[in-house]
Amino acid sequence: MRFRFRTALGFPAAIATAIPVHHAAAQRVSAQRATPIAAISCGSAARSTALPSLRWQGEAALRWTTWSTVLGARKVAVRIVAVDVDPARLALSLELARDGGELLPWSLDVAPSDALLAMNAGQFTDEGPWGWVVHRSREWQAPGSGPLSGAFVVDSMGHIRIAAADAIDSVRRAGGVREALQSFPLLLERGRAPRVLCDPTAALDHDHRDIRLALGVRADGHVLIALSRYDGVGRLAERLPIGPTTMEMAEVMRRLGAVDALMLDGGLSAQLLLRQGTVTHRWDGLRRVPLALVGRRIP
Protein backbone atom coordinates (compact mmCIF):
# COMPACT_ATOMS: atom_id res chain seq x y z
CA MET A 1 0.00 0.00 0.00
CA ARG A 2 1.08 3.57 -0.62
CA PHE A 3 1.05 6.48 1.82
CA ARG A 4 -0.30 9.87 0.81
CA PHE A 5 0.47 12.26 3.62
CA ARG A 6 2.76 15.09 2.55
CA THR A 7 0.01 17.62 1.82
CA ALA A 8 -2.37 16.38 4.48
CA LEU A 9 0.14 16.73 7.31
CA GLY A 10 1.47 20.11 6.25
CA PHE A 11 0.09 23.59 6.67
CA PRO A 12 -2.37 25.04 6.03
CA ALA A 13 -4.21 21.95 4.70
CA ALA A 14 -4.08 20.18 8.07
CA ILE A 15 -5.70 23.03 9.97
CA ALA A 16 -9.46 22.93 10.30
CA THR A 17 -11.38 25.98 9.19
CA ALA A 18 -13.00 26.16 12.61
CA ILE A 19 -11.52 24.99 15.88
CA PRO A 20 -13.55 21.96 17.02
CA VAL A 21 -14.48 21.47 20.65
CA HIS A 22 -15.16 18.25 22.50
CA HIS A 23 -18.68 17.01 23.13
CA ALA A 24 -20.69 19.11 25.53
CA ALA A 25 -21.12 16.14 27.85
CA ALA A 26 -17.39 16.10 28.47
CA GLN A 27 -17.53 19.74 29.55
CA ARG A 28 -19.94 18.85 32.34
CA VAL A 29 -17.44 16.55 34.02
CA SER A 30 -16.08 18.42 37.02
CA ALA A 31 -12.32 18.35 37.27
CA GLN A 32 -10.55 17.27 40.43
CA ARG A 33 -9.08 19.90 42.73
CA ALA A 34 -5.74 21.10 41.39
CA THR A 35 -2.75 19.06 42.59
CA PRO A 36 0.74 20.41 41.84
CA ILE A 37 3.07 18.26 39.72
CA ALA A 38 6.84 18.60 39.50
CA ALA A 39 9.26 16.99 37.07
CA ILE A 40 9.98 13.33 37.73
CA SER A 41 12.95 12.59 39.95
CA CYS A 42 16.09 11.41 38.19
CA GLY A 43 17.60 10.14 41.43
CA SER A 44 18.12 6.53 42.45
CA ALA A 45 14.65 6.22 43.97
CA ALA A 46 11.26 7.37 42.74
CA ARG A 47 9.30 9.76 44.93
CA SER A 48 6.59 8.14 46.99
CA THR A 49 4.01 10.87 46.42
CA ALA A 50 0.52 9.43 46.76
CA LEU A 51 -1.70 9.08 43.74
CA PRO A 52 -4.30 11.79 43.28
CA SER A 53 -7.81 11.05 44.50
CA LEU A 54 -9.69 10.74 41.23
CA ARG A 55 -13.37 10.17 40.54
CA TRP A 56 -13.54 7.71 37.67
CA GLN A 57 -16.56 7.20 35.46
CA GLY A 58 -17.44 4.61 32.85
CA GLU A 59 -17.30 0.82 33.07
CA ALA A 60 -14.75 -1.88 33.85
CA ALA A 61 -13.55 -2.07 30.24
CA LEU A 62 -12.98 1.68 29.90
CA ARG A 63 -12.89 4.21 32.72
CA TRP A 64 -11.92 7.86 32.48
CA THR A 65 -11.59 10.97 34.57
CA THR A 66 -10.14 14.47 34.54
CA TRP A 67 -7.40 15.70 36.84
CA SER A 68 -6.59 19.39 37.28
CA THR A 69 -3.01 20.23 38.16
CA VAL A 70 -0.58 23.11 38.21
CA LEU A 71 2.90 22.85 36.76
CA GLY A 72 6.22 24.53 37.45
CA ALA A 73 7.16 27.69 39.28
CA ARG A 74 4.58 29.71 37.33
CA LYS A 75 1.82 27.24 38.29
CA VAL A 76 0.62 26.64 34.74
CA ALA A 77 -2.94 25.32 34.95
CA VAL A 78 -3.42 22.05 33.05
CA ARG A 79 -6.20 19.48 32.91
CA ILE A 80 -5.27 15.84 32.37
CA VAL A 81 -7.80 13.52 30.74
CA ALA A 82 -6.86 10.08 32.10
CA VAL A 83 -8.17 6.79 30.68
CA ASP A 84 -7.88 3.30 32.21
CA VAL A 85 -8.32 0.42 29.74
CA ASP A 86 -8.72 -3.24 30.70
CA PRO A 87 -7.22 -5.13 27.72
CA ALA A 88 -9.07 -8.28 28.77
CA ARG A 89 -12.32 -6.48 27.91
CA LEU A 90 -11.22 -3.97 25.25
CA ALA A 91 -9.01 -5.01 22.32
CA LEU A 92 -6.52 -2.36 21.21
CA SER A 93 -5.35 -2.23 17.61
CA LEU A 94 -4.02 0.18 15.02
CA GLU A 95 -6.50 1.79 12.64
CA LEU A 96 -5.97 3.20 9.16
CA ALA A 97 -7.94 5.44 6.85
CA ARG A 98 -7.98 4.03 3.32
CA ASP A 99 -8.91 4.91 -0.23
CA GLY A 100 -8.64 1.56 -1.97
CA GLY A 101 -5.00 0.55 -1.65
CA GLU A 102 -3.88 4.00 -0.55
CA LEU A 103 -3.59 5.08 3.09
CA LEU A 104 -5.06 8.48 3.88
CA PRO A 105 -4.71 10.85 6.83
CA TRP A 106 -6.80 9.97 9.89
CA SER A 107 -8.73 12.06 12.39
CA LEU A 108 -11.48 11.48 14.94
CA ASP A 109 -14.04 12.22 12.22
CA VAL A 110 -13.31 8.83 10.63
CA ALA A 111 -13.09 6.85 13.85
CA PRO A 112 -14.94 3.52 13.45
CA SER A 113 -18.47 3.48 14.83
CA ASP A 114 -17.81 0.40 16.98
CA ALA A 115 -14.74 1.89 18.70
CA LEU A 116 -15.16 2.87 22.36
CA LEU A 117 -11.72 4.52 22.22
CA ALA A 118 -9.86 6.25 19.38
CA MET A 119 -6.70 8.35 19.41
CA ASN A 120 -3.68 9.26 17.32
CA ALA A 121 -0.75 6.85 17.51
CA GLY A 122 3.03 7.09 17.24
CA GLN A 123 5.24 9.78 15.71
CA PHE A 124 5.20 10.85 12.07
CA THR A 125 7.11 12.36 9.19
CA ASP A 126 5.67 13.96 6.06
CA GLU A 127 5.94 10.56 4.40
CA GLY A 128 3.93 8.66 7.02
CA PRO A 129 4.47 6.81 10.30
CA TRP A 130 7.90 6.83 11.92
CA GLY A 131 9.48 3.62 13.14
CA TRP A 132 8.13 0.15 13.79
CA VAL A 133 4.58 -0.60 12.64
CA VAL A 134 2.89 -4.00 12.95
CA HIS A 135 -0.80 -4.34 12.11
CA ARG A 136 -2.78 -7.58 12.22
CA SER A 137 0.47 -9.54 12.64
CA ARG A 138 1.96 -8.05 9.47
CA GLU A 139 5.06 -5.89 9.80
CA TRP A 140 4.60 -2.78 7.72
CA GLN A 141 7.79 -0.99 8.76
CA ALA A 142 10.98 -2.05 10.48
CA PRO A 143 11.93 -0.32 13.77
CA GLY A 144 13.55 3.09 13.75
CA SER A 145 16.63 3.80 15.82
CA GLY A 146 17.11 6.10 18.79
CA PRO A 147 17.94 5.62 22.47
CA LEU A 148 14.83 7.53 23.58
CA SER A 149 12.45 5.44 21.47
CA GLY A 150 10.18 2.67 22.68
CA ALA A 151 7.40 0.46 21.34
CA PHE A 152 3.83 -0.24 22.40
CA VAL A 153 3.29 -3.94 21.67
CA VAL A 154 0.17 -6.14 21.67
CA ASP A 155 0.96 -9.85 21.41
CA SER A 156 -1.16 -12.63 19.91
CA MET A 157 -2.81 -13.27 23.30
CA GLY A 158 -3.77 -9.61 23.71
CA HIS A 159 -1.16 -8.93 26.39
CA ILE A 160 0.38 -5.47 26.22
CA ARG A 161 3.84 -4.19 27.05
CA ILE A 162 6.04 -1.20 26.36
CA ALA A 163 9.50 -2.21 25.17
CA ALA A 164 12.51 0.08 25.55
CA ALA A 165 14.74 0.74 22.53
CA ASP A 166 17.26 -1.95 23.49
CA ALA A 167 14.50 -4.57 23.83
CA ILE A 168 12.68 -4.02 20.53
CA ASP A 169 14.90 -6.33 18.48
CA SER A 170 14.42 -9.23 20.89
CA VAL A 171 10.64 -8.70 20.94
CA ARG A 172 10.64 -8.65 17.16
CA ARG A 173 12.71 -11.85 16.88
CA ALA A 174 10.50 -13.68 19.37
CA GLY A 175 7.50 -13.19 17.10
CA GLY A 176 3.86 -13.33 18.13
CA VAL A 177 3.38 -9.58 17.75
CA ARG A 178 -0.14 -8.67 16.65
CA GLU A 179 0.08 -4.86 16.83
CA ALA A 180 3.03 -2.54 17.44
CA LEU A 181 3.80 1.14 17.16
CA GLN A 182 7.03 2.94 17.91
CA SER A 183 7.31 6.39 19.43
CA PHE A 184 9.53 8.57 21.63
CA PRO A 185 10.57 9.48 24.20
CA LEU A 186 10.24 6.63 26.68
CA LEU A 187 8.94 8.24 29.87
CA LEU A 188 9.04 5.40 32.39
CA GLU A 189 10.89 2.11 32.57
CA ARG A 190 10.06 -0.23 35.47
CA GLY A 191 8.60 2.66 37.43
CA ARG A 192 11.55 5.03 37.06
CA ALA A 193 12.67 7.70 34.66
CA PRO A 194 14.91 5.97 32.08
CA ARG A 195 18.60 6.74 32.40
CA VAL A 196 18.79 8.18 28.90
CA LEU A 197 15.82 10.49 29.60
CA CYS A 198 17.72 11.95 32.55
CA ASP A 199 20.98 12.37 30.63
CA PRO A 200 21.59 16.15 30.37
CA THR A 201 23.50 15.59 27.12
CA ALA A 202 20.54 13.85 25.44
CA ALA A 203 18.88 15.62 22.52
CA LEU A 204 15.79 16.54 24.54
CA ASP A 205 14.36 19.92 25.45
CA HIS A 206 13.52 19.49 29.13
CA ASP A 207 11.86 22.92 29.40
CA HIS A 208 9.51 22.90 26.40
CA ARG A 209 5.78 22.91 27.20
CA ASP A 210 3.12 21.56 24.85
CA ILE A 211 -0.06 19.54 24.58
CA ARG A 212 0.95 15.99 25.55
CA LEU A 213 -0.38 12.49 24.90
CA ALA A 214 1.10 9.38 26.49
CA LEU A 215 0.50 5.63 26.80
CA GLY A 216 1.40 3.63 29.86
CA VAL A 217 1.05 0.11 31.25
CA ARG A 218 0.31 -0.65 34.90
CA ALA A 219 1.71 -3.60 36.84
CA ASP A 220 -1.65 -5.40 36.49
CA GLY A 221 -1.58 -5.04 32.68
CA HIS A 222 -4.12 -2.25 32.41
CA VAL A 223 -3.33 0.45 29.86
CA LEU A 224 -3.25 4.09 30.91
CA ILE A 225 -3.73 7.00 28.50
CA ALA A 226 -3.20 10.63 29.46
CA LEU A 227 -3.97 13.69 27.35
CA SER A 228 -3.22 17.22 28.55
CA ARG A 229 -5.19 20.36 27.86
CA TYR A 230 -4.41 23.91 28.98
CA ASP A 231 -6.90 24.80 31.71
CA GLY A 232 -7.35 28.42 30.69
CA VAL A 233 -10.55 30.40 30.50
CA GLY A 234 -12.89 29.53 27.64
CA ARG A 235 -13.05 26.79 25.05
CA LEU A 236 -10.37 28.18 22.78
CA ALA A 237 -7.78 28.38 25.55
CA GLU A 238 -7.56 24.59 25.91
CA ARG A 239 -6.18 24.36 22.36
CA LEU A 240 -3.16 26.52 23.16
CA PRO A 241 0.15 24.59 22.92
CA ILE A 242 0.76 24.87 26.66
CA GLY A 243 1.14 21.87 28.90
CA PRO A 244 3.58 19.61 30.72
CA THR A 245 7.26 19.36 29.96
CA THR A 246 8.49 15.88 29.08
CA MET A 247 9.72 15.32 32.63
CA GLU A 248 6.43 16.53 34.12
CA MET A 249 4.50 14.20 31.81
CA ALA A 250 6.66 11.32 33.03
CA GLU A 251 5.65 12.21 36.58
CA VAL A 252 1.97 12.42 35.56
CA MET A 253 2.14 8.88 34.20
CA ARG A 254 3.95 7.62 37.28
CA ARG A 255 1.40 9.23 39.59
CA LEU A 256 -1.42 7.61 37.60
CA GLY A 257 0.17 4.23 38.29
CA ALA A 258 2.07 3.44 35.09
CA VAL A 259 5.16 1.22 35.40
CA ASP A 260 6.25 1.79 31.80
CA ALA A 261 5.16 4.74 29.68
CA LEU A 262 5.76 6.21 26.24
CA MET A 263 5.03 9.63 24.76
CA LEU A 264 3.03 9.85 21.53
CA ASP A 265 2.81 12.76 19.10
CA GLY A 266 1.27 15.70 20.93
CA GLY A 267 0.78 19.31 19.98
CA LEU A 268 -1.55 19.74 17.01
CA SER A 269 -1.84 15.97 16.52
CA ALA A 270 -3.15 15.05 19.99
CA GLN A 271 -6.74 13.82 19.81
CA LEU A 272 -8.90 11.45 21.81
CA LEU A 273 -12.41 10.02 21.52
CA LEU A 274 -14.33 8.06 24.16
CA ARG A 275 -17.77 6.50 23.82
CA GLN A 276 -20.10 5.61 26.69
CA GLY A 277 -23.36 4.20 25.40
CA THR A 278 -24.91 6.84 23.17
CA VAL A 279 -22.67 9.64 24.50
CA THR A 280 -19.42 10.56 22.76
CA HIS A 281 -16.68 12.62 24.40
CA ARG A 282 -13.99 13.99 22.11
CA TRP A 283 -10.94 16.19 22.29
CA ASP A 284 -10.02 17.02 18.70
CA GLY A 285 -6.62 17.74 17.23
CA LEU A 286 -5.81 20.25 14.51
CA ARG A 287 -3.70 17.89 12.41
CA ARG A 288 -4.55 14.63 10.71
CA VAL A 289 -2.25 11.69 11.29
CA PRO A 290 -1.28 8.47 9.48
CA LEU A 291 -2.19 6.01 12.23
CA ALA A 292 -4.69 5.68 15.04
CA LEU A 293 -5.07 3.40 18.02
CA VAL A 294 -8.62 2.20 18.69
CA GLY A 295 -10.28 0.04 21.30
CA ARG A 296 -13.17 -2.29 20.56
CA ARG A 297 -15.17 -4.32 23.04
CA ILE A 298 -14.18 -7.99 23.20
CA PRO A 299 -17.34 -10.14 22.73
Q: How many C-beta atoms lie closer than 10 Å to residue 3's C-beta?
A: 18
Distance CA(134)–CA(35), nearest Å, equals 38
Torsion of CA 67, 92, 215, 253, to 10 degrees: 50
Give the amino acid at 202: A
Out of 17-21, 85-89, 113-117, 276-280, pick the least confident: 17-21
The stretch 173-192 carries a mean pLDDT of 96
Q: Is the pLDDT of residue 99 over 70?
A: yes
Task: Name the residue with higher pLDDT: 228 or 237.
Answer: 228
pTM, two decimal places: 0.88
Percentage, residues of the chain above pLDDT 70: 84
- Residue 234: C-alpha distances to residues 16, 190, 208, 229, 238 (Å): 19, 38, 23, 12, 7
Percentage, residues of the chain above pLDDT 90: 68
pLDDT averaged over every residue in the chain: 86
Contact 245, 297 (CB under 8 A): no
